[in-house]
Structure 1
Amino acid sequence: MSTGQVLVVECPPWIAEQIDMTYGHLGRSGPLKEETAKKYSHGWGFAGEAPDGVEDFLEMLTLVLSIPNPEHVDLTIALDWYYQPDDEDELKRTTAGYWINTTKHASQPTWSNSMNSRRLMIKALVLFINTHPLYRNATAIITAPGHKADGQSFGEVLAREVAAKVGIPFVETTSPGPRAQQKESPQDLTDMFTVQGQLSGDVIVLDDVFHTGGSASGAAAAAKRAGADRVFALTVARTIRR
């Protein structure tokens, strides 16, 4: 970034789209000069100084995963991978993966390690929402109904807790009945879910894990049918797809 007027970054297009969504109203993206394009992929020019907080925002983006958007979703972020290779190329759980493993898959959810993981996971989600300039202005939080369609899936309970902590209304989303788990039998969920109320503005679809993006896509489609302008997906972790 130059002294106040130009922001240049090297990033994939879906991250550039996120920067443009956040700061595009204050500046204008445009082609880079030949020499600059050798090091950077995208640039924005501002009439005055670059927006306050832009450096902190870009630093935050290096600490999370910005994911190419599934259909109907305008922005997709996971706090981290579920697994990552170690120095010996063995897959090891990340901190986010550990949180999910010791809460969602816990044999004893009331044990101290499980309860602590849940607190840390919720704290991280709340901090992210409160920090990101787009997510913190959301008008509602929803989630994709679990495959049992009983309203009590891990993702649904998590989303309610996070919504209460962050102070954004939680709006229920339902499905007509049980279905196969998405990770085992991917389905087109575009018309599967119904939001129980009217939405407006930007809405967060919150869940625990991003697998294929099908659940986020289905929930986002339901949100837009209910009146949402844009939908931002947020998950704790993203799985590695082979």
Structure 2
Amino acid sequence: MDFEPDSSLNEFMDFLREVLVINIEQKGHLDAAVALDFYQRSVREGSSELVHTETADLIRLIKGYAAARRAEVDHAGLRLCRSLSDVVVRHEWFNEATRILPVPGHARDKPSVSVMIGTLLSQELGIPLTTVESRSEGRKPAKKMTDRERAALLHEFRIDEDLEGRTVLVLDDIYHTGYTMAGVAYEAKRSGAKMVLGLAAARNIRRQADSDHWTARKR
């Protein structure tokens, strides 16, 4: 650059090196999306062996994948909440959000991890929650769906609140294919949202190159 950048720009660039900026494949719904980390990463460069990241370990505790005391689960939720809150506060766009939209779970009778974390994040940041509902009684995880079933997720969700002119934040625990988050974003835009931003705790590795790239960035 032929000028000295403002210190805030340097701080923002440093911040972007700490998170995973997601390349959005479903264009026209989400305006931007980031994740705290990958869900798994290679044990070493070039290896096909994967291990869970620290962020994934927190998510797995909250999901009940391993036996844990209630205090451990609560602590994991608070740690995730603080990390996600830090992203919202430090991001140039995300800190303009006026509503948090947690992605609903696969079953209506059980709150999703996104709803639980979204509730904590709402309390932490003072940003109200907007309820997102599934139109179906239950659905398969996006990672187990066919391409046709994933495409149908764009019309799977319902939002009754008027979001006219708002910047909103779609929150998910794990970003797999992007269709679930895109489906909530699609409905948010239909409800009048001006800008829809996605925030995930972790992103699933879809290609080995993803893991190698992120391993290099984290050094």
- Asked whether the two chains share a fold, i.e. TM above 0.5, the reply is yes
- What is the SS of the residue equivalent to 2:156? coil
What TM-score do you get using the length of structure 2 for normalisation? 0.83
Does 2:30 match 1:68? no
RMSD: 1.8
Secondary structure of 2:37's counterpart equals strand
* Equivalent residue runs for 1:1-242 within 5 Å: 1-4=1-4, 50-71=5-26, 72-87=29-44, 89=47, 90-108=49-67, 110-150=69-109, 152-176=111-135, 177-186=137-146, 187-188=150-151, 189-199=153-163, 200-242=165-207
Larger radius of gyration: 1
- The aligned residue for residue 23 of structure 1 is none
User: Partners of 2:103 and 2:2 in 1: how far apart?
Assistant: 42
- Residues 152-208 of structure 1: CA deviation (Å, up to 9, x unaligned): 111122112212211111100111221222121152211111112011321100110
Q: Which amino acid aligns with 1:80?
A: D
- 8 A Cα contact 2:60 2:66, kept in partner: no
Judging by fraction of residues, say which structure has more helix. 2
- C-alpha distance in 1 between matches for 2:158 and 2:25: 18
For 2:202 and 2:36, locate their aligned partners in 1 and report how far apart those are by CA, in whole Å: 6
Q: Which runs of 4+ in 1 moved over 3 A?
A: 105-113
State whether residues 173 and 195 of structure 1, in contact with CA within 8 Å, keep that contact through their aligned partners in structure 2. Answer: yes
The percentage of aligned residue pairs carrying the same residue is 30
| AA aligned opposite 1:235 | A
1:151 offset after TM fit, Å?
Answer: 6.2
- Runs of at least 5 residues in structure 2 that lack an aligned partner in the other structure: 208-219
TM-score using structure 1 length: 0.76
Aligned length: 197
CA distance in 1, matches of 2:110, 2:73: 22
Q: Which has the higher relative contact order, 1 or 2, with Cα contacts under 8 A spaced 6 or more apart?
A: 2
Q: Determine if contact 2:39/2:203 at 8 Å carries over to the other structure.
A: yes
Counterpart Cα distance in 2 of 1:159 and 1:109: 21
Unaligned runs of 5+ residues in structure 1 are 5-49
Distance in 2 of aligned mates of 1:70 and 1:156 = 24
- Alignment correspondent of 1:21: none
